[in-house]
A = this chain, B = another copy of it.
Amino acid sequence: MTSREASVPMPRTARRGRPGYDLDSLLAVAVEVFNERGYDATSMGDLSERLGIAKSAIYHHVASKEVLLRLALDRALDGLEAVTQGARELDVSAVRRLEHLVHESVVLLLDHQPYVTLLLRVRGNSPVELAALQRRRALDRYAASLVRDAVRAGDLRADLDPTVTARLMFGLVNSLVEWTRPASRAHTQALPDEVSALVFDGLRVRDRPR
């Protein structure tokens, strides 16, 4: 990764050169359009139109359309890997790690929604997409191992297959990208807890001992 492609944007104060897009702001717009029309259906002409610059000007920032995809997918994956690493480093039981993972995944997803959305739609059509899918699978495997450990510890029900359970859990979490709007931050505060509640305690009301 070169410095131009760094995840952390350079401060735009006291900058030299022509005002306009830097890689970071250009990428944000590109990801927005990719999510609207789909990556493959988006032409460089579509992007230039939305950006308000010439098609050729985009090639000043990136070598190809695919590089835009790679940079966007890297952001989502870097974030998810950081969340997973956070869960790994906790000194608690497997269920607690899992609760942390679910909760923080929701937070990250809401925070970097466009990038995560793009990642979740990747189908492996190119080497860039295949590499992203591989990084995703490593995260899935860790989640599945946590479910397995939590079942063994007697904290999660044993009548469901651990791998299936892990997939369903994160299927629910990931489905957030389909309908949450970055604008309506009203939900944002409550959602991580609501998702945890649904996943771990279910929807049904029942009498509980106390």
Taking CB atoms, residues of chain B closer than 8 Å to A1 are: none
Is A191 within 8 A of B171, CB to CB?
no
**How many monomers of this protein are in the complex?**
2
Is A202 within 8 A of B202, CB to CB?
yes
Asked if A197 CB lies within 8 Å of chain B CBs, one says: yes
Is B160 within 8 A of A171, CB to CB?
no
Is B197 within 8 A of A159, CB to CB?
yes
Is A165 within 8 A of B37, CB to CB?
no
Is A205 within 8 A of B154, CB to CB?
yes
CB distance from A205 to the nearest CB of B (A): 5
Taking CB atoms, residues of chain B closer than 8 Å to A169 are: 203
**Complex formed: what's the CA distance from A62 to B60 in Å?**
42
CB distance from A68 to the nearest CB of B (A): 16
CB distance from A16 to the nearest CB of B (A): 40
Asked if A206 CB lies within 8 Å of chain B CBs, one says: yes
Within 8 A of B (CB), among A162-210: 164-165, 167-172, 174-176, 178-179, 187, 190-191, 194-195, 197-209
Asked if A156 CB lies within 8 Å of chain B CBs, one says: yes
Taking CB atoms, residues of chain B closer than 8 Å to A160 are: 194, 197-198, 203
Taking CB atoms, residues of chain B closer than 8 Å to A155 are: 204-205
Taking CB atoms, residues of chain B closer than 8 Å to A206 are: 208
Within 8 A of B (CB), among A86-114: 95
29 A-B residue pairs with CB within 8 Å: A37-B123, A38-B38, A38-B41, A38-B125, A40-B40, A41-B125, A95-B204, A156-B203, A156-B204, A156-B205, A157-B203, A157-B204, A159-B197, A160-B203, A161-B187, A161-B190, A161-B194, A167-B179, A168-B175, A168-B176, A170-B175, A172-B172, A199-B202, A199-B203, A200-B203, A202-B203, A206-B208, A207-B209, A209-B209
* 6 interchain residue pairs of minimum CB distance: A171-B175, A202-B202, A40-B41, A172-B172, A201-B202, A200-B204
